[in-house]
Amino acid sequence: MTTKLGSALLFATAMWAQDAPFQTVCSNATLEGDYGFIITGMRPSGPGGPVETIVGIAMTHFDGNGNLTQTDNIHGSISGVATPNRPGTGTYTINSDCSGTMKLINSGAPVLTLAIAVVDDGNTVLTAVQDPTASVAAGTSPPQVMVTSQGRRVVNRASTRRADRNAN
């Protein structure tokens, strides 16, 4: 009887433990490699100009240590393409819950602070611009910037083919 009761308790404990959800723990190392982003939103068309709709793409390299490099192409409905293949640099911090922040620095533009979420086991990055400028002059309103992006890890096809060959 004791053996059956002990087995039943062990089985019940094992089943309960399996019901606990798996939680991903993230860090800066979760983002490493190249990601392609699609960018959409609204921003001022220039100093004092009207708000325009924008679309764009970016290729971003995350080093796994909190640093990034990026090349983007942003097209505004009024301003057109201001700087094709614009290079940028920045930093990022990923929290253990896979949320984080990113600072993006492009020459001649305000520093952008973005809220980010890393999802899909680190294969996808979601962003939203939080603060388009480091400082705003007293008595002026901050520019109207509503920009989001979604990035997906770039797959290196050569390494994928090698991995497929090695698996067979």
Q: Does an H or E element contain 148, and which?
A: strand 146-153
Q: For the domain that residue 83 is a member of, what is the CATH number?
A: 2.40.128.120
Query: 36 in a domain, yes or no?
Result: yes
Structural domain for 76, as ranges: 28-160
pTM above 0.95, yes or no: no
Expressed in angstroms, the distance from the first to the final Cα of the chain is 50
Query: 9 in a domain, yes or no?
Result: no
110-128 pLDDT, tens digit per residue, is 889 999 999 999 999 999 9
What is the Cα–Cα distance from 129 to 126, expressed in whole angstroms?
Answer: 10
Query: 143 in a domain, yes or no?
Result: yes
Query: 73 in a domain, yes or no?
Result: yes
Query: 75 in a domain, yes or no?
Result: yes
Number of structural domains (the chain) is: 1
Query: 19 in a domain, yes or no?
Result: no
69-97 pLDDT, tens digit per residue, is 999 999 999 988 767 899 999 999 999 99
Query: 3 in a domain, yes or no?
Result: no
Whether the CB-CB separation of 66 and 28 falls below 8 Å is answered with yes
Residue of 102, 149, 161, 91 whose CA lies nearest to 124: 149
